[in-house]
């Protein structure tokens, strides 16, 4: 999200709208990536251990509680302690003296009792809250990712950003088409060359054989039919045969001509979703996952890290193009209300 805020501009002015002044990140690997790309102002601690006086003053707080506490993929989410970290978010608002905030999370956040309490407390403290579920593809991200976005202001309601892109064939909308998988990764070498994380897992021979039986835009059911037709039914696990519905994206191929599905933290594993390359018999690479998230090609994920560490950073990220659109909506409101005398930058705290 910080990358998108730093990329934001208003109109043709070249001036940066936001300068990050402090970030808090518990994961040391994510903190290292942040520091390499965005500055060494990141505090690598559990936010609960940071006293109020250690928070830098900031105009805007961006970030949000860990999404895993609210995700429908988490079967133990009702008792997950991470659901209570909204209280630390609220503390950061008080300690920084922020005038705006942006919170991002999975859609389930908006219907949770925690968000209901947060919103009630924030409203009582003078915040005006705007929230909705936004589709990243509508904002120049080559990915069909839906996430809850909450914007708070002490100066009145902030309008959520208007879409910058639209689905092909949309009526009454004169916008560029959604970016596709081909737009994002079509220019990379089909065979991963290992450069800049353009590398995938090294699957077994059996896995490669399964991949070859997934047709263009196909999924695990297509693979199963193809294997059965060639007398290779023993390569279809019995648990797959018993599960005749659902999980249709598992072992699926991405569609060149559509945005990618949601890039999750283990996008390099085709057993986790539609993460096979559109044509090659392999999962997408880490670099391809980053580009499908909207990271610029020069964003540096340190090479010494494990694939799981970098995958977690990418899958948990806010797509930078979406963050940029949100940042510009906040900045436009601040200019309109006289809070920001453009081009003076606002300070941002990332939590």
Neighbour tally for 113: CB within 10 Å: 8
Domain match, 65 and 213 both: no
User: Both 117 and 199 in a single domain?
Assistant: no
Interior angle at CA 47, CA 46 and CA 53, nearest 5: 130
- Output the pLDDT for position 113: 87
Does residue 312 fall inside a structural domain? no
Calpha distance 168→177 (Å, rounded): 5
Closest-CA residue to 18 (of 346, 349, 351): 346
- Domain for residue 309, yes or no? no
Same-domain status, 55 and 117: yes
Query: Number of C-alpha atoms within 13 angstroms, CB side, residue 221?
Result: 9
Q: What is the CATH number of the domain that holds 187?
A: 3.90.120.10
Same domain flag for 9 and 44: yes
A 10 A CB-CB count for 75 gives: 7
User: In the prediction, which pLDDT does 78 show?
Assistant: 47
Are 35 and 129 contained in the same domain? yes
Q: What is the pLDDT of residues 282-326, one digit of tens each?
A: 999 999 999 999 999 999 999 999 999 999 999 999 999 999 999
Model pLDDT, residue 80: 52
How confident is the model at residue 81, as a pLDDT?
A: 55
Helices (H), the chain: 2-7, 28-38, 86-96, 113-124, 181-185, 205-212, 220-229, 238-242, 286-292, 307-315, 320-336
- The pLDDT value recorded for residue 77 is 45
Same domain? For 132 and 67 the reply is: yes
Residue 134 lies in a domain: yes
Structural domain tally of the chain? 2
The verdict on residue 13 lying in a domain is yes
Specify whether 261 is located in the same domain as 168.
Answer: no
Give me the residues of the chain with pLDDT under 70, please.
66-83, 341-345, 349, 351
Query: For residues 309-328, b (16+ Cβ closer than 10 Å) or e, as one string?
Result: bbbbbbbbbbbbbbbbbbbb
Please name which of 6, 51, 45, 5 lies closest in space to residue 23, comparing C-alpha atoms.
Answer: 45
Which CATH number belongs to the domain containing residue 21 in this structure? 3.40.50.150
**Residues 126 and 230 occupy one common structural domain:** no
Taking phi first (over 0 means left), then psi (-120 to 50 degrees means alpha), and beta for anything else, what does residue 64 get?
Answer: left
Please provide the size of the chain in residues.
351
> What's the pLDDT score for residue 70?
54
Flag whether 48 is in a domain: yes
Both structure tokens of 189: 């070498």
Range of the domain at 296: 181-301
- For residues 221 and 285, membership in a common domain is answered with yes
Residues 49 and 106 in one domain: yes
Q: Which pLDDT does position 310 carry in this prediction? A: 98
Kindly state whether residue 311 falls inside one of the protein's structural domains.
no
pLDDT of residue 69: 55
- Say yes or no: 256 and 343 in one domain: no
Report the predicted TM-score, pTM, of the whole model to 2 decimal places: 0.92
Q: Within a domain: residue 47?
A: yes
The chain-wide mean pLDDT, for the chain, equals: 91
Residue 220 resides in a domain? yes
Distance, in Å, from the CA atom of 102 to the CA atom of 113, rounded to the nearest integer, reads 19
- Clarify whether residues 24 and 164 are in a common domain: yes
Distance CA 165, CA 325 (A): 12
What whole-number distance in Å separates Cα of residue 3 and Cα of residue 212?
Answer: 37
Containing 293, the helix (H) or strand (E) segment is none
């Amino acid at each position: 999200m910080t990358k998108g805020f730093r990329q934001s501009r208003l109109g043709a002015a070249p001036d940066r709208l936001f300068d990050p002044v402090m970030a808090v990140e518990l994961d040391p690997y994510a903190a290292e990536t942040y520091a390499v790309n965005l500055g060494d102002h990141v505090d690598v601690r559990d936010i609960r251990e940071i006293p109020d006086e250690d928070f830098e003053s900031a105009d805007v707080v961006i970030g949000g509680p860990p999404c895993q506490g609210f995700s429908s993929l988490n079967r133990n989410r009702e008792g997950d302690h991470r659901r209570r970290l909204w209280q630390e978010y609220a503390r950061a608002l008080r300690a920084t003296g922020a005038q705006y905030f942006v919170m991002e999370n999975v859609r389930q956040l908006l219907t949770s009792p925690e968000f209901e309490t947060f919103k009630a407390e924030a409203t009582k403290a003078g915040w005006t809250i705007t929230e909705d579920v936004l589709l990243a593809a509508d904002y120049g991200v080559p990915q069909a990712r839906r996430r809850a976005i909450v914007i708070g202001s002490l100066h009145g309601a902030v309008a959520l950003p208007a879409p910058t892109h639209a689905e092909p064939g949309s009526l009454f909308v004169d916008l560029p088409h959604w970016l596709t998988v081909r737009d994002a990764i079509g220019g990379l070498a089909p065979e991963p060359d290992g450069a800049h994380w353009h590398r995938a897992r090294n699957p077994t021979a059996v896995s490669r054989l399964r991949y070859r039986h997934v047709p263009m835009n196909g999924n695990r059911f297509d693979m199963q039919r193809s294997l059965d037709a060639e007398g290779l039914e023993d390569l279809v696990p019995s648990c797959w045969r018993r599960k005749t519905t659902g999980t249709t994206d598992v072992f699926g191929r991405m569609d060149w001509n559509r945005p990618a599905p949601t890039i999750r933290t283990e996008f390099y594993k085709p057993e986790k979703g539609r993460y096979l390359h559109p044509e090659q018999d392999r999962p997408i690479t880490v670099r391809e996952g980053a580009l499908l998230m909207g990271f610029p090609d020069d964003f540096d994920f340190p090479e010494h890290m494990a694939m799981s560490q970098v995958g977690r950073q990418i899958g948990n990220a806010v797509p930078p193009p979406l963050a940029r659109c949100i940042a510009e909506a906040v900045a436009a409101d601040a200019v309109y209300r006289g809070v920001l005398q453009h081009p003076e930058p606002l300070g941002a705290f990332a939590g």
